[in-house]
Structure 1
């Protein structure tokens, strides 16, 4: 599932390519990906413009010229691809296609994901339960320690809980705890202040590096794009079961906890 770095990479690229470009066509191949009727969705977009692209956690918010919003959540398996009209169509099936000038933005894999047409107020309501952003300028080490330190239970469960902090999922929870040398299933109440401080430093480090590195998406955003997905090769533990740890050469272990995969180094990340 795309997480904060992947969605931030998309936000930056979309901001450079579709903002203020007239929408000339809208195709909906899967009505269930919408929250309104197809004709209402098409009428709201046709002839309009996206004037701003915002990210909140794992969501993208497209601000429309008329004050409306498109709220996107790719969920599991969702992708975006921007291709030239009739020339660069992705090989996978698409659920929604929006044409901006001579380019088409393809929404792929929206079997669980969605693109909802909402008012500004309804968008705020839909996202009101999300926790704070850990890369927000208002976040700091002290606030982070208060936020995380008061929780109970396994560390990974807290990091991926979107009501606690927004944007982290399975991949970066494992990468962050590896960088911090903390077992992902350690009980938060057993962490020392020093470990919480290190956890904050590792969170900022990993999320920034992953964002700058294009995240771990499986396909480029457009033809010639060599950044999107490049961070997949930089992951240290996620989806690396059996591979040697980059620090100590111990094979990376995959476990399961609360129906989630967990990847870690059993030597570098001792279980409390």
Structure 2
């Protein structure tokens, strides 16, 4: 599932491609991916412009010039792809296609995901359920520590809880825990202030590096995109079961924790 770095990578590329370009056509191949009738969805969008693309957690919010919003959540298996001019369309089936002149934005794999047309108020109501952004400038180290000291439970379970903090999923929770040298099953109430400070630093380091590295999803965003997915090769533990730890050489282990896969180094990461 796309996480904060993947969605921020999409946001950056979209912001340089579709802003203030009138929408010329909309094709809907799967009605369940939208929340209004295809006729209403299409008529509302054609002629409109996206004036701003915002990321909130794992969501993208397309701000339209009439004040409404398109709220996107790719969920499991969702992807975006864009073509320009006479470039070939993606080989995979698409659920929604939005044309911005000769640029086409394809929404792929929206079997669980969605693209909903909402008012500003409705969008705020949906996103109000999310926890704070970990990379927000207001999320200072002291505020982070204060929030963590009020929480209980396993570290990984907390990091992927979107009501606690928005944007982190399975991949980056494991990568952050590894960078901080903390076992993913460690109870957060057992972490001292020094360890929480290290965790804060690891969160910023991993999420920023992953975003600048294009995230871990392998399908490019455009035909000439060589950035998206590049961070997959830099993952230290996620999906690396049996491979040697980059720090100590011990084989990376995969276990299951509350229904989730967890990857970690049993030598470098100790439960506290």
User: Do both share a fold (TM > 0.5)?
Assistant: yes
CA–CA separation in structure 2 for the residues paired with 1:155 and 1:240: 20
The list of structure 1 runs, each at least 4 consecutive aligned residues, that deviate by more than 6 angstroms after superposition, is: none
Q: CA deviation at 1:86?
A: 5.2
Distance 2:266 2:88 in 1: 45
Superposed counterparts of 1:87-126, under 5 Å:
87-126=87-126
**CA deviation profile, 1:37-85 (whole Å, cap 9, x unmatched):** 1100001101111111000000000001111100000000100000125
Q: Distance in 2 between matches of 1:120 and 1:105?
A: 23
1:37 and 1:168 map into 2 onto residues whose CA distance is 32
| Per-residue deviation, residues 89-138 of structure 1 (Å, max 9, x unmatched) | 11111000000111110000000000000000000001101111010011
Report the number of matched residues: 272
Q: Which residue of 2 aligns with 1:260?
A: 260
SS in 1 for 2:233: helix
Partner residue, 1:216: 216
What's the secondary structure of 2:105's corresponding residue?
A: strand
What secondary structure does 1:256 align onto?
Answer: strand
Residue 49 of structure 1 pairs with residue 16 of structure 2? no
Aligned with 1:129: secondary structure? coil
**Structure 1 residues not aligned, in runs of 5+:** none
1:122-164 deviation line (CA, Å, top 9, x unaligned): 0000110111101001111100011112111101000000011
SS in 2 for 1:158: helix
2-structure distance, mates of 1:241, 1:156 = 17
Who is 2:9 aligned against?
9
Counterpart of 1:145 in structure 2 is 145
Match in the other structure for 1:64: 64
Q: Deviations 1:12-43 (Å, cap 9, x if unpaired)? A: 00000000111111000000000111100001
Determine if contact 1:70/1:117 at 8 Å carries over to the other structure. yes
Q: Is the 8 A contact 1:149 1:196 kept in 2?
A: no
- In structure 2, runs of 5+ residues without a counterpart are none
RMSD: 0.8
Would you say the 8 A contact 1:78–1:107 is kept in 2? yes
Instruction: Please state whether the residue corresponding to 2:16 is helix, strand or coil.
Output: helix
- Tell me how far apart the structure 2 counterparts of residues 181 and 263 of structure 1 sit (CA, whole Å): 13
Taking structure 2 as the reference length, what is the TM-score of the superposition?
0.99
* Cα distance in 1, alignment partners of residues 185 and 198 from structure 2: 16
